[in-house]
Structure 1
């Protein structure tokens, strides 16, 4: 029956419905390995359970916490690293009360979770490290929202703390910096390493790795000889911006981390004996061996052997991950060895299970991914000739589309697109219309309408992975274009810095240029007269900016897009500077190029809302602390033609959709909007 029907693009009937997409949003949020028992667990988002975060035994597929427990933390608002398992004991942050709980996972135990931190709704915990010699002592991020009155984001205090799970007390360990992440102990427990940074930097802009000596005194941890071993020199105002991340002890004498000193995130090693740090590779590799840590769960590598001589890294190339075996022996630096045969386009949350065995969250472009067990042959992991790794999906990440024919799947086509007169590429991923029932349009010469999708961040990226939401649109005859505009990650620090001081300019220019290039020769893939732009968070801001701001009439045209959909997008930087969360409170200073009210107003879509003449759909969570609801309310009220704007707000949702009913409703609203305004554009 394939290809027997023809119908106008955008009107095709599809078996992929909104419920399919909601079910497929059951995502893997973290992978956890018990280092003593080698048992694998994962944290799973359940939209059908009102967005509950569930910890699952990956092998048995059994939930280890029942409703109403939800292993979610709001540290940095984006969360991540909400749980850890050590010797059959689970520790997790419970979202409803922010307390840390523990629970025995032994087969003969039927215990319920018990709190191990005092009752305090203003304390948030994440990123736990168990003390090797005293496992009842945990080091954790503590984010304190107590003063003043749980209101001002600049008064939130982030520290590293010690949680004594026996006495159920919390004591401060490290303070003074604005942010801390990634505490980790050396195998013998005598050293602690961590990452820290200060405003106005984000961790991928400037950060430091610290190491300190550890002793246990009076049943708590005491640090001495704390010293910075790599990263930005905050004592020097003119110091080079260097991002260092993801510290992991390879042995008692060797700490591994990544640094972008070369312009790309590459592996580095710090020697305890020589007290020096240096690059692992003899020459820098122009690929990022780590992405910006928006989530605390993200981890791009794991050790492959007990002596810490080799690691598996997931690096970024052409918008997807590739796997490398990396020799960590500092005495004989060697280039990385690429491992072949991986079907996974995104690899993260990488953890060691046993020698030559790792586990990670893997995503594919042609099928659903999940929690993946990877076993490497000695040849692949020894630094010699590359052997073939084997992969086994031990838990499916998504359920919604698994019963559908693979003939529905539109595969990604990465493209470097150029605007007229520019030599700077705009990286994008194109998905063409595809549906086994249809062979094309019934309208002669018709090209498909295009949906341009803009990721958040803005220092993030869209990768080449199977998304049933994308397939929802391509199976209906729409073209889909993911745009990794200037400022996106995965293409080196220089590409990220294209947005510095030019947010609302470069991202808008690139987002307009990409579909225009795709509509013109030599591509000629889409109908350039029917192009919608959509995005969430920072992507939502670019949607609003593209439809309102007009810095350059050649590159910036408020009428460039037929319609737009902004989900929890920024409209007013003056207001946002006062009430966004601490993590991104000063992010806009570098992105906009200053702090003046005049500058902030000049880049705020609400100030130029009179230019919004194309139809705009706005979607917003009522509990959003990152981009508060009044941002969406303000832009809606400021638009003159109220017949072409609609605001839909969702109870119980924050920054992004987690509940099935919201996912379904938002998708249905968006489809109705396109059917009204995109398929047959009105003047």
Structure 2
């Protein structure tokens, strides 16, 4: 069969939005029962109104029925909603915020009082099979709902009495409370405003005392500081080995990359003799994540995921020699990993040509790995290899002697040999990730193939401030949010439209992003230099920030002071900067047609942020379309929302650029 030609952006594609999302699932995390060794997954299901369930991977059965949602609202982003211990699932139910316990085949039983103002997450179980089960957890108290009044603490949940007692308090945020295997110590991570966890979080350890029958069944001795420093050094993801050595990651050191460390006998030290310019782990936006596991009980060998040149790799660390070895595996992006027994690690991740899957990595006596897939996500028919556009990572030299990291996907469809227009370059969708301290990886995202299979180029911009390239790259955005990110996006598309790249059409560029990425979109469209604003033919902001001043007062606790460093000061200190960098103040500069998609239950970027800029554009008769989604918060969870949002975006660009699907 002869291949067809047609203008870029008009190709017929077998990939529909419905095929991507209607029957899709995603894996939020992997759980391993430390007693039985069984492996479980937390699955999110858009087709079931976005609810999450825990699945026994050996049998494929759900541990809770249709009426249950294994999810937490702690820090709004959630994470860490469940743990399985000795065959019992303990989980947060998103509907009423209570914690429940359930054995296989039984109905869940509430183990915390009925109080919707109390949210729980990030559980660990005291390692004893005798007596009353005891859990440690994060409690986020919303009795006073204003962000400044929300109180976070570590608490003990007594399963038999269904009571909650305070354990550690006084700090703004806590994460990763973990009992040592012998139950004698508790480790945790903490940080306070204005730090985010990747900026200045600390790890502490305290001796544990059990008092059976007491109203406070667990007490702690004076905590000992292990690692991290407020405002300067991040220490994260504490995890114990079976022999009670605590390991974690920290960006302490000359390279300022998150590298593995260990704490034993009162001393913390780096596991590697020479640090690597790779980040072992990701910024802690979600609770319950883990990116390292001990392979053996003694903690001699560890497996970590690490970000290398924008792509995740597996690193085998030998603690006895202080060396590491990169493992050749299928992963381009790792979501989470956990120890699943001696020399076994369960890993959730993606490859460049396969969507998210759960794999088991097993090492033989010579530490040679083998990989087995346990469970994969599905979204209708699998895409043929010929439809998959492969990621092309590119590092650009930009003005100011700085680097900018991008990933390009070329138009790809096995039915087409190219364009029917001589010399034509493809239109391009420019994806701007949220955070802004986050990144876009290189794992397969079928939604990008939705575009490339239609003859579009796709460009992900990991602008200055993105993670995965070290702390110095993250710090490029300090005091420069809304400036550096916009400049990197503009310069990146300008360079890629010129020789020696010549990849995209500079007249047909659509910029799109969600949350902080939506803010970058709005900033790009309202840039004071009209030539920069005119770079974009269209834009899409999904739950994006339009008014920084409003965000100071109406966002949630976790991010309520995030902007202070990003902007270079508080609203009271530099009100003129907040005003200048609030896109709503400059909506009159917008010349590109703008699509705004917004969840009406969003507590991170409330709908008022969208309403204000829509009204401003409409008042001057600009081209704007506003699509609100009932029942959605910060990001889309429902299948019908994901389908509608993607179809709306495609129709928007086709209309703006005058593209019609080829016959």
TM-score, with normalisation over the residues of structure 2? 0.96
TM alignment of 1:50-129, pairs within 5 A: 50-105=49-104, 110-129=105-124
User: In the superposition, relative to structure 1, how do residues 496 and 679 fare at CA in structure 2: closer, same or farther (>3 Å)?
Assistant: farther
Shift of 1:398: 2.9
TM alignment of 1:390-429, pairs within 5 A: 390-402=370-382, 404-419=383-398, 421-429=399-407
How far apart, in 2, do the equivalents of 1:182 and 1:665 lie? 37
Tell me the residue number matched to 1:565. Answer: 540
Tell me the residue number matched to 1:337. Answer: 325
Matched, 1:498 2:476: yes
Match of 1:287 among 278, 281, 287: 278
Q: Deviations over 1:569-626 (max 9, x none)?
A: 0000111100100000000000011113222111100011110111000000000000
Q: Deviations over 1:18-50 (max 9, x none)?
A: 112214751100110111111111011111111
Match of 2:426 among 448, 461, 483: 448
Match of 2:156 among 147, 151, 162: 162
Shift of 1:680: 5.9
Match of 2:443 among 465, 469, 476: 465
Shift of 1:352: 0.9
Contact 2:27–2:356 under 8 Å retained in 1: no
TM alignment of 1:95-494, pairs within 5 A: 95-105=94-104, 110-133=105-128, 136-147=133-144, 150=145, 152-219=146-213, 220-232=217-229, 234=230, 241-262=232-253, 263-271=256-264, 273=265, 275-329=266-320, 333-340=321-328, 342-380=329-367, 387=368, 389-402=369-382, 404-419=383-398, 421-494=399-472
Q: Deviations over 1:397-433 (max 9, x none)?
A: 233352x3221111100001233x4421110100000
How far apart, in 2, do the equivalents of 1:598 and 1:515 lie? 30
Shift of 1:378: 2.2
Secondary structure at 2:190's aligned position in 1? strand
How far apart, in 1, do the equivalents of 2:397 and 2:492 lie? 7
Matched, 1:519 2:497: yes
How far apart, in 1, do the equivalents of 2:371 and 2:658 lie? 43
Contact 2:181–2:244 under 8 Å retained in 1: no
Contact 1:549–1:603 under 8 Å retained in 2: no
Tell me the residue number matched to 2:521. Answer: 543
Contact 1:418–1:513 under 8 Å retained in 2: no
Segment drifting more, 216-225 vs 649-658: 216-225
Shift of 1:643: 4.6
Q: Mind listing any 5+ residue stretches in structure 1 that lack a counterpart?
A: 235-239, 381-386
User: In the superposition, relative to structure 1, how do residues 417 and 400 fare at CA in structure 2: closer, same or farther (>3 Å)?
Assistant: farther
How far apart, in 2, do the equivalents of 1:560 and 1:97 lie? 47
Q: CA RMSD in A?
A: 1.5
Q: Deviations over 1:437-482 (max 9, x none)?
A: 1111111111100000000000000000111100000000000000
Secondary structure at 2:323's aligned position in 1? coil
Secondary structure at 1:543's aligned position in 2? helix
Q: Mind listing any 5+ residue stretches in structure 2 that lack a counterpart?
A: none
How far apart, in 1, do the equivalents of 2:241 and 2:375 lie? 28
Contact 2:355–2:446 under 8 Å retained in 1: no
Contact 2:243–2:299 under 8 Å retained in 1: no
**Aligned residue pairs: how many?**
649
Matched, 1:671 2:659: no
Secondary structure at 2:139's aligned position in 1? strand
Tell me the residue number matched to 1:237. Answer: none
Secondary structure at 2:366's aligned position in 1? helix
Matched, 1:608 2:601: no
Shift of 1:251: 4.2
Secondary structure at 2:176's aligned position in 1? strand
Contact 1:369–1:393 under 8 Å retained in 2: no
How far apart, in 2, do the equivalents of 1:630 and 1:56 lie? 38
Shift of 1:392: 1.2
How far apart, in 2, do the equivalents of 1:73 and 1:41 lie? 18
Structure 1 moving runs of 4+ over 6 Å: none
Tell me the residue number matched to 2:558. Answer: 583
Secondary structure at 1:371's aligned position in 2? strand
Segment drifting more, 631-640 vs 665-674: 631-640
Matched, 1:631 2:636: no
Tell me the residue number matched to 1:383. Answer: none
How far apart, in 2, do the equivalents of 1:23 and 1:300 lie? 30
TM-score, with normalisation over the residues of structure 1? 0.93
How far apart, in 1, do the equivalents of 2:222 and 2:11 lie? 66
